[in-house]
Structure 1
Amino acid sequence: MVKLIGAALILFAGTMIGFVQASRFASRPNQIRQLIYALTRLETEIGYGFTPLPEAISRSAAMLQEPAAGLFRAVGRRLDEQSELTFRECWEQAAAEIWPNTAMRQPEQAALVRLGSTLGISDREDQMKHLKLAIQQLHAEEENAREDASRFSKMWKSLGVLTALLVVILIL
């Protein structure tokens, strides 16, 4: 009886590990899409609303979902609290802070860091160009993420179940 309960728990745990990994692959394109939307809102605030960058960051954060809202809130908080830091430093620290809590990968982070190094140091038109470039890069990454999700999501689900089943067979 104890072996049967243990086998069921191992099978359940392995299955859940596979499903968690699959959900990370599935959520990555959605998070990239949210980040694209966030940058589009920021572009609108800067380009058409003539809003100063710190205020544009705060306004945009209020309209976004996680994880993009977390990034913008962290940038806004750092700008308010630590006036000795440049915008670039605030942006990079915020990205490093929220990145472990996302399903996104290094290419998306690199695009954001590049964007952060150019925002706030040039005129409005130049900032809009850099935002459009970052949005284009993220669109390409979103397409790659969709392909990865369709390819690896099923694999991780099956791998979790089959690995747990193998362990159960070896134990019994």
Structure 2
Amino acid sequence: MLIKIIGCALLVTATTLIGIKKSQRLYRRRDFIKDFLVFLDSLATNIRYSGDELSVIISKSEDPFGKAVYDSYRKSEGSFFERWKKAVIKISDGYSLKHDDKQLLCSFGEKLGITDVEGQLKHIELYKGLAKAHLDDSKKDITEKSRLYKTMGFFVGAAVALIVI
């Protein structure tokens, strides 16, 4: 009987932790999109005032998204867009991004650097607006699903534990 109680306690703990991990994924997505917005602001400023090549601007980036892109970017070969796409795929795996988020990042990189300075700045402004919509979506997901994941984890474990006992 003592083994059953210990097993049930471990089961409830495990399912609760799974719910907490699922909830944390929502926060990681939100934080990633915030980092992307900071990157866009920094990129716009550097494009406007530095006159450096795009890869140099990205290499000087101080924000987390820019550093992650540059680390992945410099380790791959191909055109700027191919390298950008590989970087996005590599860094987005750990942030629980939705398919739409990945598409946003890839489409941003596809048109980046192919126009003049004003065109690039307009491109960045467009994607800042789109990223803000994704940020609002991630915040909505947090308010709707975060608590649900945590409580469902606990209650599923508790229900199974009651059945076992």
Q: TM-score, normalised by structure 2?
A: 0.93
Q: Which runs of 5+ in 1 are unaligned?
A: none
How far has the Cα of 1:117 moved from its partner? 0.8
Q: TM-score, normalised by structure 1?
A: 0.89
Answer 1 or 2: higher relative contact order, Cα 8 Å, separation at least 6. 2
110, 121, 126: which one pairs with 2:114?
Answer: 121
Distance 2:152 2:128 in 1: 34
Q: What is the aligned-residue RMSD (CA, Å)?
A: 1.4
59, 74, 90: which one pairs with 2:72?
Answer: 74
- In the other structure, the counterpart of 2:164 is 171
Distance 1:147 1:88 in 2: 31
Runs of 4+ with deviation above 2 angstroms: none
How far has the Cα of 1:169 moved from its partner? 1.0
Distance 1:101 1:72 in 2: 16
Distance 2:53 2:110 in 1: 17
Contact kept in structure 2, 1:22 and 1:152, CA below 8 Å: yes
Q: Which runs of 5+ in 2 are unaligned?
A: none
Distance 2:74 2:119 in 1: 21
Equivalences, count: 164
Contact kept in structure 2, 1:57 and 1:73, CA below 8 Å: no
Distance 1:99 1:9 in 2: 32
Contact kept in structure 2, 1:32 and 1:104, CA below 8 Å: no
Query: Which piece of structure 1 moves more, 121-130 or 158-167?
Result: 121-130
Counterpart AA for 1:76: R
- In the other structure, the counterpart of 2:34 is 33
Distance 1:68 1:102, change over 3 A: farther
How far has the Cα of 1:76 moved from its partner? 3.5
